Amino acid sequence: MSAAMEYDRKMADMGMAVDMPWTAADVFFTFAMWTVMMAGMMTASAAPVVLLFAGMHRGRGGARWPLVVFVFGTGYLIVWTAFSAGAALAQWGLHRAAMLSPAMATSSARLGGTILVAAGVYQLTSLKGACLTHCRSPLGFLMSHWRDGAAGALRMGIAHGTYCLGCCWALMCVLFVVGVMNLVWVAAMTIFVLVEKIGPGGAFVARVAGVAMMAAGMLVWAGRL
């Protein structure tokens, strides 16, 4: 069985029409897939700030600290859920334009190259650097954004999620080039995000990756990759 036929069979088994317009159920399924995938990919890199936040609340002796920590995590996930909605709509648009390959990657070399170059350029911007700095300094984030109570925890979670999104959104868009359902690339991207945020020299790694993505994008655009 060819890869395309196997893909069609799997998508049909999951209720998604690959050669027909998507239904509302198809869009919802794609949104759910992105939400679960983003939660899985970002959990490890978010763990340091969540654990530190939990430790600070537990140390203060509040009886409701587990609930406050849960609310903080919920705020963080709200941001990535919103991104997942946008990603699902983008995937729907690519499907409608017949620009998705059997591997759920864009079939347009120009679009794929543009995504890679844009993601690479973003890796070198000051906005990326600022967001990465916040993500790499959980104690600094908590000290500068502290709010008391459950409502404050929600605001803090959303704020941290926003910095995290600012750091990683372009990297997540690269999945449209390498394949949304490519588990090898999903795992590799998860590890890379972790290295960026908690590894030594994460800012340098981010810039090197940006240059590499721009080079890869130009090769894809030229049809040599």
Q: What is the pLDDT of residues 17-53, one digit of tens each?
A: 555 778 889 999 999 999 999 999 999 999 999 999 9
Domains identified in the chain, total number: 1
Please state the φ and ψ torsions of residue 194, each to the nearest 5 degrees. -65, -45
Token match 């090898």: residue? 184
Residue 171 forms part of a structural domain: yes
In Å, what is the CA distance from 144 to each residue of 2, 130, 137? Answer: 55, 14, 11
Residue 17 forms part of a structural domain: no
Please say whether the beta carbons of 128 and 122 come within 8 A: yes
Residue 1 forms part of a structural domain: no
Residue 62 forms part of a structural domain: yes
14 pLDDT exceeds 50?
no
Q: Which of 44, 49, 81, 47 is nearest to 193 (CA)?
A: 44
Predicted pLDDT at 222:
85
Question: In a 3-state reduction of DSSP, which class is residue 137?
Answer: coil
Residue 2 forms part of a structural domain: no
Residue 121 forms part of a structural domain: yes
- Domain of residue 73, residue span: 22-221
Residue 88 forms part of a structural domain: yes
Residue 14 forms part of a structural domain: no
Token match 């990535």: residue? 80
Mean of all residue pLDDT scores within the chain? 89
Predicted pLDDT at 223:
81
Is this prediction's pTM over 0.85?
yes
